[in-house]
Amino acid sequence: MTNSYDKDEMLALLDWFQAMGVDAAVGEMPHDWLARGDEAPGAGFSWPEREKAAPTARPVAPPQSARPGVSRSAPGLDPGRPRAATPLGASEAETGARRIARAVTSLEGLEAALQAFDGCGLKSTATKLCFYRGAPQADVMFIGEAPGRDEDLAGKPFVGRAGQLLDKMLAAIGLSEADVHITNIVYWRPPGNRTPTPQEALSCRPFLERQIELVAPKMLVAVGGAAAKEVLGAAEGIMRLRGKWREVQVGERKIPAIATLHPAYLLRTPAAKQLAWMDLLQIKSKL
Ligand code: URA
């Protein structure tokens, strides 16, 4: 950017940025993303050698299909059921991520592995990794959609307005941050707060599955439609999915899981709070 723009042009440019979903400045100088040509985000990344990456880990999931572009991973977190074809890049990213995630034996290790992981394109536009908030081990694990602007700046999930409402929802059933583990289906903010693509969710999923194994919750709560689809492996909308217990297979465990409405939706649609309250009561009674 040069200073040949006058004030009106700069204001018009800022308006355009805002319309395109840019709502935070993350650096002193702009990145020219077009300068890297057709190279995909993370293209320069190479997976650690197998011996280095996975010395002793026990498998989280059954072996993946060798067919290019087709993942044998299930919809949702059950790795045993077939899922729709995904582009080869995403499938490769998932396989590499699974190898790395399996080798990790602690949440600290998982965070370090995520910091080093370049297989999810969201990382290249995000400011910070958003790993989790709350207790390292908890009976209830809340899984949301994706970090937003506040989370991207803080490096923690659900710290903005929606997160504050989530905290109030938890308090309503006697839970605090110290009682729960809160994360998302992707660990980096999608530009402009768009919904993560299936490929982005797929590349993060091995880490999420490992995170669930390490946290060892008694139940999972998917927060909002995108998380519900990913966690429960379902195609229906959130209004159909919410409020019903299911079981999801994660590694060797079957874990009860329920979906509820996203607090960001509740902020826009206060009348839906009564539905969310019914879901919260289900969670409370299961505890
Ligand atoms: N919405 C989410 O789904 N996750 C967050 O971390 C913040 C807002």
Ligand 1 in contact with 131 (CB < 6 A)? no
Ligand 1 in contact with 200 (CB < 6 A)? no
* pLDDT, average across residues 23-36: 69
Q: Return the percentage of the chain with pLDDT > 70, whole number.
A: 77
Q: What is the C-alpha to C-alpha distance for residues 279 and 259, in angstroms, rounded to an integer?
A: 8
Specify the pairing of strand 253-260 against strand 140-144. Answer: unpaired
* Interval between CA 183 and ligand 1 midpoint (Å): 8
Residue 45 lies in a domain: no
Q: What is the C-alpha to C-alpha distance for residues 142 and 29, in angstroms, rounded to an integer?
A: 36
Q: Residue 160 has which token pair?
A: 């903005």
Total residue length of the chain: 287
Atom of ligand 1 nearest to the CA of 145: 3
Q: What is the C-alpha to C-alpha distance for residues 245 and 259, in angstroms, rounded to an integer?
A: 8
Find out whether 183 and 208 touch, Cβ atoms under 8 Å.
yes
| pLDDT given for residue 2 in this prediction | 53
Q: What is the C-alpha to C-alpha distance for residues 163 and 169, in angstroms, rounded to an integer?
A: 10
From atom 7 of ligand 1, which residue's Cα is the shortest distance away?
Answer: 158
Number of domains in the chain: 1
Ligand 1 in contact with 151 (CB < 6 A)? yes
pLDDT digits (tens, 9 = 90+) for 61-115: 333 333 333 333 444 565 444 444 344 466 777 788 888 999 999 999 999 999 9
Q: What is the C-alpha to C-alpha distance for residues 268 and 42, in angstroms, rounded to an integer?
A: 36
Q: When comparing pLDDT for 179 and 30, which is higher?
A: 179
Tell how far CA 211 is from the center of its chain. Answer: 11
Which CATH number does the domain housing residue 178 bear? 3.40.470.10
Q: Residue 18 has which token pair?
A: 């805002």
Residue 83 lies in a domain: no
Residue 23 lies in a domain: no
Ligand 1 in contact with 152 (CB < 6 A)? no
Residue 40 lies in a domain: no
Candidates 203, 189, 107, 110; CA nearest to 152 is 189
Residue 5 lies in a domain: no
Residue 64 lies in a domain: no
Ligand 1 in contact with 147 (CB < 6 A)? yes
Find out whether 230 and 203 touch, Cβ atoms under 8 Å.
no
Query: Which element (helix H / strand E) includes 227?
Result: helix 225-232
Q: Is the dihedral of CA 211, 213, 76, 60 positive or negative?
A: positive
Find out whether 147 and 120 touch, Cβ atoms under 8 Å.
no
Residue 8 lies in a domain: no
| pLDDT given for residue 51 in this prediction | 39
Its domain, for residue 214, covers: 90-286
Residue 265 lies in a domain: yes
Ligand 1 in contact with 190 (CB < 6 A)? no
User: 246 pairs with which residues across the strands?
Assistant: 257
Q: Which residues contact 148 (CB under 8 A, 6 or more apart)?
A: 160, 162, 189, 193
* Probe target for ligand 1 pocket from 145, 153, 195, with the most ligand atoms within 8 Å of CB: 145
pLDDT digits (tens, 9 = 90+) for 209-248: 999 999 999 999 999 999 999 999 999 999 999 999 999 9
* Interval between CA 164 and ligand 1 midpoint (Å): 11
